[in-house]
Structure 1
Amino acid sequence: MLKSKVDEVLQDVNKLPAISSVVSKVLEKLQKPDVEIADLAQEISKDPAITANVIKLSNSAYYRASKPIRTVQEALMTLGIKTVKEIVLLTAAKGILAQDLNSYQLEAAQLWTSSLLVAELSSKIVQHKKLKIDKDLAFTSGLLCSVGKIVLAQFFSPVMMQIKTDLKDNQEPFSTLEKKYFGYTHMEVSENLLKRWNFPPELTDVVANYLTPETSKVNPLLTSVVHLASILIVVSGIGIDIGGESVPISPFALSQTGVTDADIETYFVHIPDLQAGLADLLNV
């Protein structure tokens, strides 16, 4: 088992994926109910790359602003704090997720596309089933589920042949093999990363439990939504990694969300439309 080596990486901040300090401070400010738009705009504007993407995406067809947006403050005023937060996190996530994961047999474009589709479908499920969840929160939760794979991917080489043998003889979820060989599942690593980045507990809980929503302690309904979205995107053939389609849909998630077989068929039919609608975000 490579657990001790994974531990070393998890304890060395210099070896972990990092997000801009501006993103951390923005998230911190957003947890305060009395946050001021001017303060947020000033904080976001400290990072030129994030500022550029906020303005670019605010003017995109995806967000459909009612008027041209020229500054971060205008974006906040026109689209709202929640939407600009989503754009900030999109920019941060692209910087981390847009890389090849050869060990997981995922190219950068596949990983980013599947992450965005899980995010978008999570948001659509919330709206379609009229669930008491903020659709922006659902989007962000879905976006970050695979981030732990970035860390674990570097440890595959010594045990790749054993993993491939196990995959042939074993029908268990691939996360079981992650745990066997690395001492961690990618969900546990994702949880570790989001805690280091000072993300809110709801998001941390989702990434830690999205494959087993019945274990969610903070928001089982939100975790169930992301669970369904992630499974459906993989089954549709997008973002299939080395683990294949080994995770079944959780009955708990279906019960929590009220999603039916007919709903699932509808979501499948509309996945190509979702992907087409994400064109602006795919090129962040």
Structure 2
Amino acid sequence: MEKDKVDLVLKDITKLPSISSVVTKVLEKLQKPDVNITDLATEISKDPAITASVIKLSNSAYYRASKPIRTVQEALMTLGTKTVKEIVLVTAAKGILAQDLNQYQLEAAQLWTASLLVAEMSSKISIHKKLGLDKDLAFTSGLLCSVGKIVLAQFFQPVMNDLRAELKDFKEPFPVLEKKYFGYTHMEVSEILLKQWNFPNELVDVAAHYLNPEASQVNPLLTSVVHVASILIVVSGIGIDIGGESVPLSPFALQKTGITDLDIQNYFTHIPDLQAGLADLLNM
């Protein structure tokens, strides 16, 4: 059991993946109904990398701006605060998720592609099923679900042989093995990280429960959407890791979202189109 070692890392902020303070402040400002566009633009502009990304992606085919965008304020005025928030989070997520996770048998490109596809599929499901969820909320909720794997991956090596041997005949979802060997599931670590980054409770809750949506306490519907999206992407073979397809679709999530077998077939069919449409974000 590596739990003591994981505990030490989780208590040491310097050893955890970090996120720009600008991201946290932007999220805080956007939770207020009277957010000031100029103040928001000033905050975003404090981080040169995020500023450059906002301007670049605002002009991409994915976001389809109606006119050329030259500044963060123009992006906010043209695309809206929700879309710019999405761009800010995508930029921050790329910096964290675009790395190899050899222990999980994931290359950087696979992890990043899967993360974006889960986000995009979550958005598409919320629109298609008319669930009353903001598509940007669904997108951002799906984006960082796997971030806890970044932390746990570093503890695999000492137990890898035992873990692989047990995995051969293991019938339960892979997070059960994570818990056994590391004392945490990657969802629990994701929850800790998002709390550390001062993310809104809805996003924290999704990260903590996206593989067991029936346990969601804040927004079970949103968590169910991300659950279905994440399972569909894994089953399609994109971002499939050492755990394989060990987590089944939750009947609770299907009931909560009203997703049918026909819907699932339709979503599978359109995954290549989703991936093609994400080209600008995948190659940012």
Distance 2:121 2:17 in 1: 26
Distance 2:110 2:143 in 1: 13
CA drift of 1:93 comes to 0.2
Q: Size of the alignment, in residue pairs?
A: 284
Matched, 1:194 2:201: no
For each residue in 1:2-38, what CA deviation from the matched residue of structure 2 results, as whole angstroms up to 9, or x when unmatched? 1111000000000000001111111111111111000
Distance 2:217 2:223 in 1: 9
Aligned equivalent of 2:11: 11
Matched, 1:252 2:252: yes
Distance 1:151 1:116 in 2: 19
Distance 2:163 2:51 in 1: 43
- The residue type paired with residue 142 of structure 1 is G
Aligned equivalent of 2:43: 43
CA drift of 1:171 comes to 1.3
1:272 aligned counterpart, secondary structure = helix
Aligned equivalent of 1:74: 74
Q: Where in structure 2 are there 5+ consecutive unaligned residues?
A: none
1:247 aligned counterpart, secondary structure = coil
TM (normalized to structure 1)?
A: 1.00
Distance 1:117 1:154 in 2: 25
Aligned equivalent of 1:63: 63
TM (normalized to structure 2)?
A: 1.00
Aligned equivalent of 1:167: 167
CA drift of 1:213 comes to 0.3
For each residue in 1:142-173, what CA deviation from the matched residue of structure 2 results, as whole angstroms up to 9, or x when unmatched? 00000000000000000001110111011111
CA drift of 1:283 comes to 1.3
| Segments ≥4 residues shifted beyond 2 Å | none
CA drift of 1:132 comes to 1.1
For each residue in 1:86-133, what CA deviation from the matched residue of structure 2 results, as whole angstroms up to 9, or x when unmatched? 000000000000000000000000000000000000000000000111
Distance 1:174 1:252 in 2: 20
2:168 aligned counterpart, secondary structure = helix
Distance 1:35 1:24 in 2: 15
Q: Taking every aligned residue pair, what percent have the same amino acid on both sides?
A: 82
Q: Where in structure 1 are there 5+ consecutive unaligned residues?
A: none
Distance 1:269 1:167 in 2: 31
Aligned equivalent of 2:221: 221
Distance 1:227 1:279 in 2: 23
Distance 1:153 1:188 in 2: 14
